[in-house]
A and B are shown apart, each in its own frame.
Chain A
Amino acid sequence: MKKDKKRSLLKIDELSEALRSAFSKPFTVKYPYAPSPAPEGFRGKPEFDEEKCMGCGACSEVCPGGAISIIDEGDTRKIELLYGTCTFCGLCEECCPIEEKGIRLTTEFKMVFSDKDEARTSIEKPLVRCERCGEPITTVDHLKWMIDRLGPLAFSNATLVSVIYDLTLGKIPIKEPEAKEIDRADVIGILCPKCRRKAAVIDHGYRVKY
């Protein structure tokens, strides 16, 4: 009984904490009315960088949840990120081949949308298609980036050579696909790997002249 009394007296501990709480400010952050910034390095809403992103689609390859998708339509490539599916793991930022990162996780955590369709972000880039079959190759920015990285080696690839040619003339290397038989002239042109292989091995009958 005496022990019980002593133990129940210890309730003073709880009482003191309760009173301390009653006379101090609430621990709650009045969030929508008062700001509650996320710390630096918080993995929040991912956003594309219009300038730096080149539209290569590496992020969509690594995304574990499949939140990032590539939509090739006409002359544009649209890379779309669905916030509803995104798990904010940051793998897209980690695997982005550009050093300044074309996709970045911001510290923004507010993601309130009144419509389901608003819960997405996307970026559009001009797309280069195969001159013959119309298969998407990659974006212009990606080709530029490859040329930059390859340096003189870029001249070993005929597609890149044609791109460099167009770019130096100040043209956008996008041509309307023309469905016709691949012939000798197509060796210098913007071709998808499949068509390039065809163009390279095709026997035009010139060889007999040598």
Chain B
Amino acid sequence: MNFYNAREKNHLQIIEDRDIVNWWSLFHLLVFPGLIFAATIGLLLLWLLRKLIARFQWRVGPPIYQCFADFFKLLFKESIVPADANRIVFILASFVSLSAATVAMLLIPIGSSQPFQGFMGDIIVLIYLLSIPSIAIILGGSSSSNPFGAVGASREMVLMIAYEIGLILSILTLAIDAGSLMIGDIVKYQVSNQIYLIRYPFAAVAFFICVQAKLGITPFDIPDAKTELIAGPYTEYSGRLLALFKLSHAILFFGLMSMMISLFFPGPFTGVYIFDVLIHLLKCSIIVIPISIIAAVNPRLKINHALRFFWIFVFILAAVDFARALLLVIA
């Protein structure tokens, strides 16, 4: 019920009929921008990433339906739970991961200045929700009773500790500048003033690098390094459970891209919602290009190098802009 108070405070549209609100939130959760839409776009963006990397390597690359084919193939396969694994945690981890990623989609604005379920302090909830998939992977990996899963989980944990600081610091920078903990306010502030990509470029770079680490794309694919740890935490996952992880990864991919757009270069908003969404998707695909270039020309980092890189280089980048934001606010 706090949600409603928050909405009133921010002079948002108040819908009196609770039943309608519930039906619409279910639609938002499952169809748009939640599960189905986010998963479709996420899988398409993952395809784009694979295709671009392939083109940088003189290869042809997969066809556009490849990621969907992979997903549906996994759906029709048997899931095997290892006999020694903690059965409940092992199975629940994949569901937790998927549901957290899906719920997070409700808090990220797509093609507008307002998320579908915005409230005071939603950005903090968002940070929590976005870290739940990583935690689910850690749980799943360590409950699988596989040495590779255990090592992968411990790597995931270290990596999480490494990138979360930069991620939170760069988001806080923007929150301080906009003077609000609501993601909608941050977007609105940028629309009326200047986009944060220009004002806080260092924070943008730090956020960009942290997003790559969060998604486990090549220089940071340390936890599931296939030549070292087979599949890391995913080693024992198969069939539907693995498909759920793949799906939550795809949703997370789209979610983080959307978040980057909302936080650093939102707009321009045409007023027609469909066009706004299309512009948003175009921007998502543009972000995939630098990610794919970085993934193509870099080898995988070692976990200790990654930790040093994030705690020194990324932290300094984020801290510089954080200090600037603080100074601007005080002054």
Contact = CB atoms under 8 A, between A and B. Distances in A.
Task: Answer yes or no: do A and B interact.
Answer: yes
Nearest to A14: B297
B293 A15 contact: yes
Contacts, number: 29
B59 A26 contact: yes
Interface string B283-298: 0000000000100110
Interface in B273-331: 293, 296-297
A22 B55 CA distance: 5
Contacts of B296: 18
A15 B295 CA distance: 11
B58 A21 contact: yes
Q: Which interface class (under 10, 10 to 19, 20 to 34, 35 or more) fits B?
A: 10 to 19
Contact of A27 (B52, B58, B61): B58
Interface residues of A, number: 12
Contacts of B52: 22
A28 B58 contact: yes
Interface string B55-70: 1111111000000000
Contacts of A6: none
A28 B293 CA distance: 20
Contact of B59 (A14, A15, A27): A27
State the majority secondary structure of interface residues on A.
Answer: helix
A18 B297 contact: yes
B105 to A, nearest CB: 31
A30 interface: yes
A19 B293 CA distance: 9
A21 B57 contact: yes
A18 B58 CA distance: 8
Nearest to B57: A21
A207 to B, nearest CB: 86
B56 A21 contact: yes
A26 B293 contact: no
A26 B52 CA distance: 12
Contacts of A21: 55-58
Given A11-B297, A15-B293, A15-B297, A22 B56 contact: yes
A57 B243 CA distance: 57
A17 B55 CA distance: 11
Nearest to B54: A26
Contacts of A24: 58
Nearest to B289: A22
A27 B54 CA distance: 11
Q: Which one of B58, B293, B296 has the greatest number of beta carbons of chain A within 10 Å?
A: B58
A11 B61 CA distance: 23
A93 to B, nearest CB: 36
Contacts of B60: 26, 28, 30
A11 B299 CA distance: 12
A18 B57 CA distance: 7
Contacts of A27: 58-59
A140 to B, nearest CB: 55
Nearest to B296: A18
A30 B63 CA distance: 13
A24 B60 CA distance: 11
A26 B58 CA distance: 5
A175 B177 CA distance: 107
Interface string A1-40: 0000000000100110011011010111010000000000
Nearest to A23: B55
B293 A18 contact: yes
Interface string B177-215: 000000000000000000000000000000000000000
Interface string A82-123: 000000000000000000000000000000000000000000
Contacts of A19: 56
Contacts of A14: 297
A26 B56 CA distance: 9
24 contacts: A11-B297, A15-B293, A18-B56, A18-B57, A18-B296, A18-B297, A19-B56, A21-B55, A21-B56, A21-B57, A21-B58, A22-B52, A22-B55, A22-B56, A24-B58, A26-B55, A26-B58, A26-B59, A26-B61, A27-B59, A28-B58, A28-B59, A28-B60, A30-B60
Query: Would you list the 7 A-B pairs with minimal beta carbon distance, nearest first?
Result: A27-B58, A18-B56, A14-B297, A26-B60, A22-B55, A21-B58, A28-B60
Given A15-B293, A18-B296, A26-B59, 9 more contacts: A18-B297, A21-B55, A21-B56, A21-B57, A22-B55, A26-B61, A28-B58, A28-B60, A30-B60
